[in-house]
Structure 1
């Protein structure tokens, strides 16, 4: 995970783009992101003098706290992104036998033992005479990711 430098700035909001805005501070312009929830608790307005603290990312500042000049800080919470339907995880209990049965029912031949992760199981499998594939399977037996097997990660059978 990349390390992001903490930053604190004071300046004036120049432009507002939904929950993102540009801040002019010491004759420099910065792009900052409050996130949709942050914009609900701290309405952005062109010309508003603010102080902010956050993490400097390559493209913008992720604001953690923001305040009107002379006012109290408001904490800003950034939710983790939702990855769509292929990335859903089940709250079902982890049962490797159920995962293996689901994969076999889908026509895959499994090699080796499944590797348990916190929210899914990874395993090496292939269909018919096809190439080896790494499958990511949630605990309910749904295969949500398939990718060619990595030789270094898996001890590939012949």
Structure 2
């Protein structure tokens, strides 16, 4: 993980202006798996976090949300289309959002870096957990519901990375 405080790393790789705050919907977190072993396991991956997308405390929840989605991509999760029909019909409900996967394909709610964009944005949904269980099965299942520990990154913590 590379925290690019001033956008210079992202600009060097993707071109001048690629890290501009106006493009944070697409450039807040960039991921790439660059080495896979012959047995299919991930040997190395890269996550670039655009520091220009976290200039205020209000921008941190959306950046954290995008980082979690980035980790999902690195772990091999692909985009899920579960519950997309609520957007097509225009009937977005609290229950629909509760079942909308974190790894959805089209960003419909978290398009700006202003604040938390949806209820429990950093909680894995049933579809996300099912996909992780298929990719990384365990010999004996854990008792109870899955527990996911998420921390809130602060600009100071991200600078130390």
* TM norm. shorter chain > 0.5: no
| Higher RCO, 1 vs 2 (CA within 8 Å, ≥6 residues apart) | 2
TM range (shorter): under 0.3
Normalized per residue, which structure has more helix? Answer: 2
TM-score (ref. length: structure 2): 0.22
TM-score (ref. length: structure 1): 0.22
